[in-house]
Amino acid sequence: MRHLSILMVTCVLLATAGDVRPQAQSPQTQPAGLRVGVVGFVHDHLSGFFGQLRAHPEIQIVGYVEPNQQLATQVANQRRLDKSLIFADLEEMLAKTHPQAVVTYTSTFDHRRVVQVCARQGVHVMMEKPLAVSIEDARAIAKAARDGKINVMVNYETTWYRSNQVAYDLVHENALGEIRKIVVHDGHRGPKEIGCSAQFLAWLTDPKLNGGGALFDFGCYGADLATWLMDGLRPLTVTAVTQRIKPDVYPKVDDEATIVVTYPKARLIIQASWNWPFDRKDMEVYGRTGQVLTVARNDVRVRRPGANQEQLVAGKPLASPYEDNLSYLRGVVTGQIKADGPSSLEINVIATEILDAARKSAATGKTVTLSRGK
């Protein structure tokens, strides 16, 4: 998933701060199969997962878990699932179907329990972003993963963007100079406004089950990407302001959040919102001598030192198995690659620490200073 030259965007091996990318597989290479369980039907990203399966015949679904019987039946009928593979209890599914990994479509609050149960059985876990609703849960997840010797991975749509990879490579080639500022914009018109399902809205707008509103739902992207770009550097301070611009729609959680994060020589600004007029997931990275702005999934606008104008640069396809979340999951579980990059547990514990501090800052109106040595 690394491309050394931005102009040529050539796939090579890179070894930087826990991040290694191999050459793409030859067309003749057959990917190893993987036995996977699906935990939870309450997350709307589940539809994307089912859509991906057509392109991943090596993924064998051995069991499903959904305690809500009505929802389980509804999804089974819609997706024509084998109802004999649907369980109400995670431990029972693991014991009877023996998956190598599970993909998790529960509320964020339930991530901790899923990992702890799976870790005891040596089953790897990939969940939808973000990792956890609190830094306490994130550290408990990390401990369970260490004790159970499993990999925990977090699926962000932006992990698989060519544009973000190009930005990362520019930074790590020192093509822009040392990072001074990162600005990340993420969100949409709002989950209700875009037609999210009732079961998704029920927990997405619950401060306990989601951790917050837009702050956690979309603030996590910026925290994750910046931590990756900064090679896992923990920040010094976090300051956040949240608003309820639409209290009639979202009475329990924020729908607007701005987070300012400071590092010794840089600043991160995260703009997370359920009030954008359009969907957006884009990032600006300003170095000491140059800048890069991502354009949707595939392109970037780069201005290099001494240049009078920006250059539009297209990213090449990401090397296998870094092109999508299921390829990555299979690669990690089968030992082909190490769990690294924006979806890695290490990066996401720090990202959760940023979100946790942002929530505290917004609640108190004060800047939160992160303790050293953790």
> What is residue 372's predicted lDDT score, i.e. its pLDDT?
78
> What is residue 29's predicted lDDT score, i.e. its pLDDT?
56
pTM of the prediction? 0.91
Rounded (5°) CA angle 45-51-53: 110
CA 192 to CA 120: how far, in whole Å? Answer: 37
How far is residue 236 CA from its own chain's centroid?
A: 22
Rounded (5°) CA angle 37-106-66: 60
CA 27 to CA 336: how far, in whole Å? Answer: 16
Domains of the chain: 34-157 (3.40.50.720), 158-369 (3.30.360.10)
Name 291's bridge partners.
286, 303
Q: Residue 372 CB: number of other CB atoms within 10 A?
A: 7
Please report which residue ranges of 205-344 form alpha helices under DSSP H: 207-210, 214-217, 219-229, 325-333
- In terms of Cβ atoms closer than 10 Å to its own Cβ (0-12, 13-18, 19+), residue 263 is middle
Cα→Cα distances 206→22, 40, 115, 201, 211, Å: 41, 17, 21, 8, 8
Query: β-strand 152-155 against 179-187: which pairing, if any?
Result: unpaired
Residuewise pLDDT in 10s, the chain (374 residues): 443 333 333 333 233 333 433 334 444 455 668 999 999 999 999 999 999 999 999 999 999 999 999 999 999 999 999 999 999 999 999 999 999 999 999 999 999 999 999 999 999 999 999 999 999 999 999 999 999 999 999 999 999 999 999 999 999 999 999 999 999 999 999 999 999 999 999 999 999 999 999 999 999 999 999 999 999 999 999 999 999 999 999 999 999 999 999 999 999 999 999 999 999 999 999 999 999 999 999 999 999 998 999 999 999 999 999 999 999 999 999 999 999 999 999 999 999 999 999 999 999 999 999 987 65
CA 181, 183, 184, 185: dihedral to nearest 10 degrees?
Answer: 180
> What is residue 374's predicted lDDT score, i.e. its pLDDT?
52
> What is residue 115's predicted lDDT score, i.e. its pLDDT?
98
Helices 111-120 & 135-148 angle (0-180, nearest 10): 10
> What is residue 22's predicted lDDT score, i.e. its pLDDT?
36
Rounded (5°) CA angle 60-63-66: 140
CA-based radius of gyration for the chain = 20
> What is residue 11's predicted lDDT score, i.e. its pLDDT?
33
